[in-house]
Chains A and B, each alone.
Chain A
Amino acid sequence: MRGSRDDDLKREIQAHLELEAEERVADGMSPAEARNAAHRAFGNVLRIREDARAVWVAPWLDHTLQDFRYAVRGLRRTPAIPVAIILTTALAVGVNLAMVGLIDRALLSPPAHIIHPHRVFSIAFETTGPSGEKGLVSTTSFLSFEAIRTAVPDVTPAAWTASGTSVTVGDQRLPVKARAVTHGYFSMLGVAAHKGRTLIADDDASSPGAAVAVLSHSLWQRAFGGDEQVLGRRLKLGGLELDVVGVMPPGFSGHSTERTDLWVPLPTAMRDLPGWETASTLAFAEIGVRLPADQSVSSAATMLGAAAGARVVLFPIIGADVAPAPHQIAMWLAGVSLVVLLAGLTNCATLSLVRNARRRREAGIRASLGATRVRLAAQVLIESAIVASLATGVAVVAGYWLDEIVRRLLFPFLIESTGMTRRVLVSAATGGACTLLVTAAAGILQLPADVTSAELRGARRSWRRWALRRELLISQTTLAVVLLTAAGMLGQEYYRELASDQYARIDDVVVAEFARGPGSMSAAEQDALLTSAAERVRGLPGVAAATVFFVLPYYNVMAPPIDVPGRGEPRVDGELPFLIESTPELLDILRVEVVRGRRFTAADGASAPPVAIVSEAMARTVWPGVSALGKCIRIGLDSEWDPRTASGPPTPPASAPCREIVGIARDWQPPSGSPGGARRIAHYYVPFSQGLERPPRMALPRVSGLVLRQEPGIDLSGEGIRRAVAGSKDDLPLLEVRPFAALQRPRLVHWLMGTKLLLLFGALALATAAVGIHAAFAHAVVQRRHEIAVRLAVGASRGDVLLMVLREGSVVAARGLVAGIIVAILAGWSARSLIFGLESPGPTVIALTGSLVLLVATLATWMPALSASRAEPGVLLRSE
């Protein structure tokens, strides 16, 4: 626009000058003379053009545009440092955007698409434990849901239950998170379908043969490729064919921010559990309500409590489903990502200082040509603005990817990001503003205070500026070291815990279980499938042993009524001992040490005399002073026992046989660092084939999963085990394959997750610092070429020069290292209340971090050092 007007004016003035010259030629001048005279008469063409231009463009805008073009030209001429600034800052800001996005989704924002989310609550019911302690449970029976639905219909109650499962679409099998819901679920949330419809009352009543499903937007994309004609297509879930009747809007995850892919009617999901609607003891349903605008939370709680027959507590859905531990993790992540931001901005400052130091000469020339300081500062500001906005743009993209990476790594249960939230936008703007501030400050700081000839020659060296840059480099290194040391501290905890107790010995044990929930098999099917699968899995390469299990120590529980003839019900530390039905292989796989007596053998079959092995603690408590070997216990569930009429705790039925104790096993210690410090529990074992008789009406499985031990050094893939278990069946729920040690101790998993994430961030910060060190040293070497040339000329060897530069790099790295480790130790101390058991970094961690940082610093200074050592003193000294 401006360009065309300007060209137009240029052409017009040109025509004017030609005409003027022609007239003078007509007056008798020579053409050359006439042209000169015309120019003289016209005056300063440039100034006139400027003045004319000022008519249509305000001068400040004109300057800004000029500066903008000048800045773009400058950035394109020497792109290396600006690109480095943009990329490193974008990564640092991106990490923070990702964290803000994750924390916002998990804790701060209500789940997407819910109308008036502050009116929606989930319900918890107060329960009373055996010793009178009060607790809250979030699940209840369908009966009590029906009671609420009938008594308080105007709070739109809905019930749901959920879990992982898998669906088959065509020949594609996908793990999904499904939720079984009553039809009122969607009206409780006030959300409509994106395509098709949500669930209606008829769906609850329909026969299992006509079952329907509503898809999440992301499952629609993944499983059906976003097919517009998806309504009416089918997917297989468990043994059922489901008709797709609707697709929810993008980002919708139901009442929580937990990722959910599929919604099916509750009756469809529960079809394998006869009597689920009427059983008062089957507590599986979670309940949510939407309060009318005029109803207070307390009055609603009273009404709901009266209907449910228990005191109830309403929980807002914002941040619900997020346990306190993730809260803490989130706050930690936020803190760590702030350190990354700080490292990025420090690097941004270093690089900007280097860039502007290189351009001091240019600024000097412009100043001597009449540019005011304000004009030069404006120039710096515009260039910084360009860099900052590019960095922010890249950061937004990087943030989106990092969000997904961290989500998959740490919070796989959380819904994917579907775009920028207001908080992320504000953070991006803040990050951009910080970048602008830092780059602009670094630039304006370096503007020549006055124009000296020395400045123009570029000869003056400012030690003050180099010192500032060096301090920045040290700070950058410090921040990287803090993150790496913190990673090391968590990693060292991980290995220490792994090595510290008996679970370390079963580190090679893997547990495979079907995810429960909609589409799961009947108990009998599951028993048959897993029993035959144990055989197939045993044949897999890398599997040393495999067997079925129902209960594992400190993992799940079974404490049936037990009776010791002559002593009544035994209690160890106030608790009933827990039963583990165990094949002979299970004792081996779990490395249960039998200290006296014998282990189980294949001969302990269903028709053999019943036997048992008890733990040392149980033997000591129940039979004090005498050997438990040869003694007898009786266990069993009495189908006649009724809590309403019973006078005492349930006892084994009279028909329960006497099981002879044939062995005494080492106790299982509670896993270290269990939340709240798990109580020690006494265990006893009976042969799997002599297991507890299940009451027929409950249709419970006998086998809950497979437990297997892998060959040393082999990492079994879940997929191989899955294939071996499923065979040709394609309608099974997802088989979850996880290491037992990790299941035992979620803390271990946290250590490992934290280590991975801090390593990632630390590596990021270290790479950033390396970029800064490289740029600063490259510039310093150029600035000091005169000094280096003199050194070479007076006899220093090239090796001396190389070493001199490398040594300066190491000094920076070493100072950063020391500061970083001190900060990490102090941070560790202050975080001890948050992270129980965190120790100061050991020598291994310090040595590893130290050598890594020194190595990176050496690599970063290597090229500048090399170019310094290759300087030609003759050439350089002549040119100065």
Chain B
Amino acid sequence: MRRRRARPPILPGTLDLLILRTLLFGAVHGHGIAKHIRQTSEDVLQVEHGSLYPALKRLEREGLISSGWEQDARGREMKFYRLTAAGREQLTWEESRWRQIVRAMSRMLRPA
């Protein structure tokens, strides 16, 4: 069995952003989202499934994403999520907020 090293969990509040970001390029199912986050962060960010699905349900309830059962490339029935117009707007907002946080953090962490 492949040994895994301990990976940092996702910062609180950023999972929503990551999910919305993942969906920017088209419909993706839950497993795909988790995988995409892991891969694009070069395995650094590990999405806990325990938080992924509740987050998906929450975003759906808030009207930021929508879902539906569709067949994937291999003909399997999967539930696909896509961004709604409100989600797209939210993503822009969340991203700019994130950039502000990152800027603030890096200023603080830069040696004076």
Contact = CB atoms under 8 A, between A and B. Distances in A.
A8 B80 CA distance: 12
A17 to B, nearest CB: 9
Contacts of A54: 54
Contacts of B29: 12, 15-16, 19
B3 to A, nearest CB: 13
B76 A15 contact: yes
Contacts of B48: 43
Interface residues of B, number: 19
B57 to A, nearest CB: 4
Interface string A1-24: 000000011011101101110000
Contact of A8 (B1, B49, B78, B79): B79
Interface in B45-86: 48-51, 53-54, 56-58, 61, 76-79
A48 B49 contact: yes
Nearest to A55: B57
B78 A41 contact: no
B30 A16 contact: yes
Nearest to B58: A55
A15 B30 CA distance: 9
A149 B30 CA distance: 88
B57 A12 contact: no
A52 interface: yes
Interface in B17-67: 29-31, 48-51, 53-54, 56-58, 61
Contacts of B78: 12, 15, 19
Interface in A17-60: 18-20, 27, 37, 41-44, 47-49, 51-56
A11 to B, nearest CB: 8
Contacts of A52: 53-54, 56-57
Contacts of A16: 29-31, 49
B76 A9 contact: no
B31 A20 contact: yes
Contacts of A56: 57, 61
A12 B30 contact: yes
A43 B50 contact: yes
Q: How large is the interface on A (under 10, 10 to 19, 20 to 34, 35 or more residues)?
A: 20 to 34
A27 B1 CA distance: 10
Contact of A42 (B49, B56, B61): B49
A44 B61 CA distance: 23
Of B50, B51, B56, which is in contact with the most chain A CB atoms at under 10 Å from its CB? B50
Contacts of A9: 53, 57
Contact of B54 (A20, A27, A42, A48): A48
A37 B2 CA distance: 11
B107 to A, nearest CB: 36
Contacts of A12: 29-30, 53, 78-79
A388 B72 CA distance: 52
Nearest to A33: B1
A494 B81 CA distance: 84
B7 to A, nearest CB: 12
Contact of B31 (A19, A44, A49, A51): A19
A255 to B, nearest CB: 61
Contacts of B2: 27
Given A15-B76, A15-B79, A20-B31, A55 B49 contact: no
A19 B76 contact: yes
Nearest to A5: B57
B75 to A, nearest CB: 12
B93 to A, nearest CB: 21
A20 B54 CA distance: 19
Contacts of A11: 79
Contacts of A53: 57
A472 B78 CA distance: 61
A800 B2 CA distance: 75
Contacts of B57: 9, 52-53, 55-56
Given A19-B31, A19-B76, A56-B61, A51 B49 contact: no
A672 B20 CA distance: 96
Contacts of A15: 29, 31, 76-79
Of A9, A12, A42, A49, which is in contact with the most chain B CB atoms at under 10 Å from its CB? A12
Given A8-B79, A16-B30, A56-B61, A41 B50 contact: no
A48 B79 contact: no
A20 B56 CA distance: 18
A508 to B, nearest CB: 84
B79 A51 contact: no
A227 B1 CA distance: 87
Contacts of B50: 43-44, 47-48, 51
A41 B56 CA distance: 18
B64 to A, nearest CB: 13
A55 B79 contact: no
A55 B59 CA distance: 9
A55 B29 CA distance: 19
Contacts of A55: 54, 57-58, 61
Nearest to B34: A16
Contacts of A49: 53
A9 B30 CA distance: 11
Given A55-B57, A55-B58, A43 B49 contact: yes
A356 to B, nearest CB: 37
Contacts of B51: 51
B56 to A, nearest CB: 8
A237 to B, nearest CB: 71
A704 to B, nearest CB: 84
A44 B51 CA distance: 11
Nearest to A47: B50
Interface in A527-551: none
Interface in A50-101: 51-56
A51 B53 contact: yes
A490 to B, nearest CB: 68
A18 B79 CA distance: 13
Nearest to A43: B50
B76 to A, nearest CB: 7
A13 B53 contact: yes
Interface in A188-216: none
Contacts of B49: 16, 41-43, 48
A42 B54 CA distance: 13
Nearest to A41: B49
A2 to B, nearest CB: 13
Contacts of A27: 2
Contacts of B30: 12-13, 16
A43 B47 CA distance: 12
Interface string A353-374: 0000000000000000000000
Contacts of A44: 50
B39 to A, nearest CB: 12
A54 B76 CA distance: 28
Interface in B76-100: 76-79
A34 to B, nearest CB: 11
Contacts of B79: 8, 11-12, 15
Contacts of B1: 37
A49 B56 CA distance: 12
Of B1, B49, B76, which is in contact with the most chain A CB atoms at under 10 Å from its CB? B49
A11 B78 CA distance: 9
Nearest to B62: A55
A11 B30 CA distance: 12
A837 B58 CA distance: 78
A37 B79 CA distance: 22
Given A12-B30, A43-B48, A56-B57, 7 more contacts: A13-B53, A15-B31, A15-B76, A15-B77, A16-B29, A43-B49, A44-B50
Interface of A: 8-9, 11-13, 15-16, 18-20, 27, 37, 41-44, 47-49, 51-56
10 contacts: A12-B53, A12-B78, A19-B31, A37-B1, A43-B49, A48-B49, A51-B51, A52-B53, A52-B56, A55-B58
Among all A-B residue pairs, the 10 with the closest Cβ atoms: A55-B57, A51-B54, A12-B79, A16-B31, A52-B54, A52-B53, A19-B31, A55-B58, A52-B57, A42-B49
